[in-house]
Homo-oligomer: A and B are copies of this chain.
Amino acid sequence: MEMSLFNIFDLLGTVAFAISGALAAMNRRMDLFGIFIIGFVTATGGGTLRDVLIGQTPVNWMHNLFYVYLIGISVIIAIIFRNKLEYLKKSLFLFDTIGLGVFTITGVETGIQNGLHPLISIALGGMTGAFGGVIRDILCNEIPVIFRKAELYATACIIGGLFFVIMHRYQVNIDVIYVVTSLIVIIIRLLAVKYHLTLPNFYPKSTKAD
């Protein structure tokens, strides 16, 4: 049962990142297979990194053909709704954030299941959440969005991860933990970008970044 919700969230993150990958690829006017490939790599990147780092190989998506179908369907949906081009960037950001939230939590969970220290599990969660989007942006030859719009990106992952660890220690029902902590990551990130919330800046105003 516990595994089942883990899998559902893994699939949810997969769908969100597949769509965000397909949108990014269409922004670059890639061909049909290019769109599918960027969608696939974005969707599987975070979970693949998580499994490789932890040593759970063959990696997760290889065991389950359902992922491939799901990514295919997600990409097709993204293509069908491509007309609303003016909303693409907003949608891309929304789906990227959902993928971030749920993959962060699957990463934290994987770490704790493997007996890793909570802090290290949170680090693993952050990597799992961020990697899909980073590899998507690198393949599209853009600066990763987390470096362009970094508003509380890592902060959101860390707070969500901390809540996961705390709720897990107090033996809250795992289904509740999943939903609550994923939402924490997603909501913090959405609010931060909407209201341009950032960490306090300690650089002097006079010097500029090159």
Contacts and interface: CB of A to CB of B under 8 A. Distances in A.
Interface in A135-155: 138-139, 141, 143-144, 147, 150, 153-155
A85 to B, nearest CB: 7
A117 B199 contact: no
A28 interface: yes
A92 interface: no
Contacts of A52: 52-53, 57
B58 A209 contact: no
A115 to B, nearest CB: 9
Interface string A28-70: 1111111011001000000010001111011101100100100
A200 B33 CA distance: 11
Interface stretch (A2-10, A118-126, A168-176, A182-190): A118-126
Interface string A89-132: 00000000000000000000001001011011001101000000
B155 A33 contact: yes
Interface in A66-83: 68, 79
A34 B68 contact: no
Contact of A114 (B58, B85, B119): B58
Contacts of A57: 52-55
A199 B26 CA distance: 14
Contact of A123 (B68, B198, B200): B68
25 contacts: A27-B210, A28-B147, A29-B209, A31-B201, A32-B200, A32-B202, A33-B153, A33-B154, A33-B158, A33-B199, A34-B154, A40-B123, A53-B58, A53-B62, A54-B58, A55-B55, A55-B58, A58-B114, A58-B116, A62-B116, A65-B117, A65-B120, A68-B120, A134-B139, A138-B138
In order of increasing CB-CB distance, the 5 nearest A-B pairs are A55-B57, A33-B154, A29-B209, A31-B199, A65-B117
